[in-house]
Each structure stands twice: as structure tokens, then as C-alpha cells.
Amino acid sequence: MDFAQFEKHIGISFKDKSLLKQAFIHRSYINENRNLKLEHNERFEFLGDAVLELVVTDYLYHKYPQKPEGELTSFRSSLVNSNTLAEVAQRININDFLFLSKGESKDTGRARQYILANALEALIGAIYLDQGYDAARDFISKYIFDLIDEIVEKGTFIDAKSLFQEKAQEKVSITPLYKTIKEDGPDHDKHFTVGVFLDTDLVIEGVGKSKQEAEQAAAKKALEKKGW
């Protein structure tokens, strides 16, 4: 892998190149290549997630001085959710540099989106470790902050679950019910499938890294399906 090309693309030259490489190593690759004595990116992901949330929170707090906590929280959720992060990861070509198992490398669906989102968080963690908070903040500013205006303009920050409940009660006088259909993956990387029901009728299913995220995904898809 030519990581020099990636460094040039994002405008960051790592002092410790091994940090950059580790940011892209998925656990599945380690499982297939135990003899290489490499480490996967999950600790970097843990760190990058915290740095990302702090940077985005600080940005939104100062950008919208008149907005209440609830709206700011919704804005932040829209910026740091897996869909947005996967979109950013694709934009900077992270997909071309991932170390995946043979099975994972063939998956191009929802599972790949989670891998991309996690890798972006791991990259932020690696930047923080290699060059400090300011460099991580500048990276986030360059690739993520510009999305907020579109999110606010389109209203995609709106809590889909609350909106679907409001519409369901208004249109059919039923309060939606959410049920977990299945759980996949190991404890460190769970994926939940949740169905949203109107009475006993399954409207649609949503998938997420938590039950709450899966419920939001189901509600968003239900709004689209119902045309509400």
C-alpha cells in the first residue's frame, strides 16, 4: 500500500508511519494473518471517537450561540453518525487502504459502511497520537465541518423516531413499537437489526451499532416508505 499517496491526499505527513497503517487494520485481517504480529485499529477508533465528539461539540457550541442543547445534540449526532463518517471516509479514499479479511473485503453493503466509519475514527485517533489535538481538529474541520450547513438546511438532523411517532399518531392514531429482530457480531462490534411496527404490522427494519441507532434508522426508512 502506498500510504505516501494517502498522506499527500489528506495533506498530513505522519512522523510515525506505523500509526497510519494501524488505523486501517481491521480485526478480521489480524485473525487471518496472526503471524504478522500486527495490531488492529479498535483502540485508535476508541480514541478518535472521543476526539471527534469534543471537536464537533466545541465547533457547534460556538457556531450556534443561540441554539438550545437539544438542537445542538441533534446536529452533533448527524455529523458523527456512521452514515456521515462513512461518506467522509469514501470521499478521502480510505476504502483503498483498508486491511481486511478475504470475506470482509468482498462485502460492499452496510457492514462495509461501519468499517469505513470506524476506520475514519481510527484515523483521527492516529492523527491525534502522531501530531496532537490541533492537527486532529484541523483534519475534522477540513472534512466534516462543511457538512453541517447542508444538514441544517435539509433538516436531516431532525430526530426521525420522534417525527415518525408524531406522524403515526396523527395519520393512523397508533404509537410505533420497536422490536429487536437480531443481533450480529462479537461484543466489541455488535450490529443490531430493529423492526418498527404499527400495531402488529412490521413497517420496515433498520440496522445500527446500537439499538438506538437501529431504531433511528428504522424510523427514517419508515418515514420514507410511508411518504410522511
Q: What is the pLDDT of residues 141-200, one digit of tens each?
A: 999 999 998 888 776 676 788 889 888 998 999 999 999 999 988 777 788 999 999 999
Confidence of residue 1 (pLDDT cuts 50, 70, 90): confident
Residue positions annotated with a catalytic role: 49, 121
Total tally of structural domains belonging to the chain:
2
18 and 87 share one domain:
yes
Determine the pLDDT at residue 90.
95
More confident residue, 71 or 128: 128
Whether 124 has a pLDDT exceeding 90, the answer reads yes
Q: Are residues 10 and 96 in the same domain?
A: yes
Confidence band, pLDDT 50/70/90 cuts, at residue 218? very high
pTM score, two decimals?
0.74
Q: Note the pLDDT of residue 177.
A: 96
Final residue of a structural domain among 154, 187, 208: 154
pLDDT tops 90 at residue 134: yes
Domain containing 213 equals 160-226
Report how far residue 222's alpha carbon sits from residue 228's, in angstroms, rounded to the nearest whole number.
8
Do both 76 and 178 map to the same domain? no
Q: Does residue 167 sit in the same domain as residue 149?
A: no
Of 100, 132, 154, the position where a domain reaches its end is 154
Q: What CATH number is attached to the domain comprising 217?
A: 3.30.160.20
Contact 174, 199 (CB under 8 A): yes
pLDDT at 127: 98
CA 33 to chain centre: 27
Phi-psi region of 20 (alpha: psi -120 to 50; beta: other; left: phi over 0): alpha
What is the per-residue pLDDT for 153? Answer: 78
pLDDT of residue 179: 96
More confident residue, 83 or 147: 147
